[in-house]
Amino acid sequence: MSVLVNKDSKIIVQGFTGKEGSFHASQMIEYGSNVVGGVTPGKGGQTHLDRPVFNSVQQAVQATGANVTIIFVPPRFAADAVMEAADAGIGVIVCITEGIPVQDMVKVKAYIEDKDCTLIGPNCPGIISADEAKVGIMPGFVFKKGKIGIVSKSGTLTYEASDQIVKAGLGVSTAIGIGGDPIIGTTTADAVKLLMDDPDTEGIVMIGEIGGNLEAIASRWIKEHGTKPVVGFIAGETAPKGRTMGHAGAIVGGADDTAQAKKRIMAECGIHVVESPAEIGITMIKALETIKA
């Protein structure tokens, strides 16, 4: 079992023939992901990486039955790419592009609200269901099949969390990199809910960072509705107030935006908070043992 994507997902790549799209599509194919084609306007009818190229997402869906897309297009075209995918009936839209203007994402968020789709990102590493499908830019070899789900704002920390989980002998069900922009499609709470509902996910790692209230909202939902142990980590302990750190959304604007405040809220909600990513694996083992006892 997995969340959002699996071995049966039919994946297309928007921006298929570009440098980034080509490189990561080839990596996804090598991992075993079911990439059925791609979209580059003006290049429809060509073949790329032994897959067909289409002029539009609608054409790609009609020809291949695609239900997942990953977007590698420049920031000024990315919002239109997301909306085009939603209009074409794509169920899972993964937007890797970073630097999309905030006003564009405000428009996208409103546009897809009544569409039957899930947007991951933008400015994210994507999704991987270990040993089934990689729809993103993460190094696939880090992820081994198991029972722990990962939700993270940070790409690098997603990989580190997986490494710690795998080294602990647990393995990963699905890892969801939600992205670090101020406005994103799937929130921390949204992703946590998906993993809580997955019968083959036994525990969840939740990685956040300074700025915003996504972790607090997710933590309070976990306190009320959570049925599985959650290990949490917040990046940005030493970040100065008012300075953006790494991600556009990682900025301390008030007392509740700090790492310390977020860690306190998480702990109050029953989450097992760690001070270092190196503690994630052993802490999850202990949390699972406590549940089983």
**Count of structural domains, the chain:** 2
pLDDT of residue 54: 98
Which residues share a beta bridge with 133? Answer: 129
Assess whether 116 and 155 both reside in one domain: no
Write a three-state SS string for 65-105.
Answer: CCCEEEECCCHHHHHHHHHHHHHCCCCEEEECCCCCCHHHH
In the predicted model, residues of the chain with pLDDT beneath 70 are 1, 237-257, 293
Range(s) of the domain holding residue 237:
138-292
Which residues share a beta bridge with 177? Answer: 126, 152
Structure tokens that stand for 130 in this block: 């270990």
Q: For residue 134, which of 99, 158, 154 has the smallest C-alpha distance?
A: 158
pLDDT of residue 31: 98
Catalytic residue among 24, 48, 247, 272, which?
A: 247
pLDDT of residue 231: 98
Assess whether 142 and 90 both reside in one domain: no
Summarised one tens digit per residue, pLDDT across range 114-151 is 999 999 999 999 999 999 999 999 999 999 999 999 99
Assess whether 180 and 211 both reside in one domain: yes
- Is 4 part of any domain? no
* 247 in catalytic set: yes
What CATH number should be reported for the domain holding residue 168? Answer: 3.40.50.261
Contact 227, 192 (CB under 8 A): no
Assess whether 88 and 148 both reside in one domain: no
- Is 247 part of any domain? yes
Indicate whether this model's pTM tops 0.85.
yes
- Is 133 part of any domain? no
pLDDT of residue 130: 97
Assess whether 246 and 273 both reside in one domain: yes
pLDDT of residue 89: 98
Structure tokens that stand for 168 in this block: 């602990």
